[in-house]
Structure 1
């Protein structure tokens, strides 16, 4: 009981990316710009999808949810980080840290599921075009979203509830810029073996299964596209998948980069910097990828702004 009482009363300290006060204004400006770009870019995608009836399809329904998830993810992390830099107050309550870790876990896993669902959507559209509307019915699409969200929330709750059983003694300093559950577990002075095993198992399953499904889908997509007689048909098919593949590569590539960095480099600061690559960069870059590489999105944005075609 004594350990549990300590856990309830504890305050954590987020060390951020650097202790150098001269660099912090630059970091503040950089992350503020990244946050505003992310919010504006994803709102732009949602506006374009809403205003263009041609984009009221499963593919853009899922893209809209991806944009909402990206905005939510950066809103969980970046504003608190900016507030800490501005006030020079690095404290975060135990409840606040637990909540932040929970929502980050939910958004990250939901992103994996969304990317997997979008790959399946492209697989059905290209490999089974005649039955596409039947398979990807509105009811089925909503069910996929709700099921993915349910699993993501359940996973986040599992790790958060397991975190409540840990006790924290005197080391309350998180060498990170947000409360990542794995980093919080490292501060526990009680046995955290089960927590670490759970993180490894759930991450391997819930992040690995969508990745395997994406690879499986694109193997069949490439095989089908190569059999198309016209080069125009091949180009159109590949162009609809190019944006999604770029987003998948960015998200999973940065995620694996963080995992490799944490395994090879025993430096919390460098791991924190690497974590920026999967938590902040992909949500910021996704709107650029879809707006610049997707012809339908460019035409929709042209209609929204009522000006010359976007390059």
Structure 2
């Protein structure tokens, strides 16, 4: 089993007994493309997902008439989500252009992150719509070119120092941009009270990174230990065993989720939106009090 959340990013990510590739029968059948983002062979697919999700987000924010529309992200308007996307892209640009490093980086905590982010976004309201969209387009083009140029070591090993998430593999920069584009697009559509859902392809692609977000958003370890299983469906779905206590904080390993006394079950979309605090999704099995205790351990971002 692989430790997912023990203070540093795991260097390997098992993706099933078949190595993450579907079996193909018949002579001359082409091998299936890898779907797991930490597999270097999946890089073209990850970048394609990124371009699709970012393109959908850009289409939502581009019209002048929507710039000051309300969204489901609290008091943020469409222009604020655009400004935050500029900030997210800028951070990834900075860490991708910094020298690679294998030195230990203390895992940051995200307390106060929402307040600092909100202050920066409110200050960005002085920037015009034209300048915001231009900055976002220019920086996104540079970031995607940098991601496309990463070699296998930079893509799969935790050698990129991120100011918010600590030392991460380069693929995380792509995954986090998919996350941000997907969640912020959800915020806009939800604010318009549309009937909608997140992209299954996008949510499934970033699903392996979501336990790390939980680890970073832990408010405080509970006085009494909590042990739950988390089962996530989808092509990159997995079972996780999560243990949270004061001695070791948040620990997460891949394993048989159903062996735990309490199990939280998600599809990739509800997992993404729950971890990001947009919905209370999924189903709880077993000790429901324990499940509620676990769900309330995290602050929302």
TM over 0.5: same fold? no
| Higher RCO structure, 1 or 2 (CA under 8 Å, sep 6+) | 1
**Normalized per residue, which structure has more strand?**
2
Looking at secondary structure, tell me which structure has more helix per residue: 1
Compare CA radii of gyration and give the structure with the larger one: 1
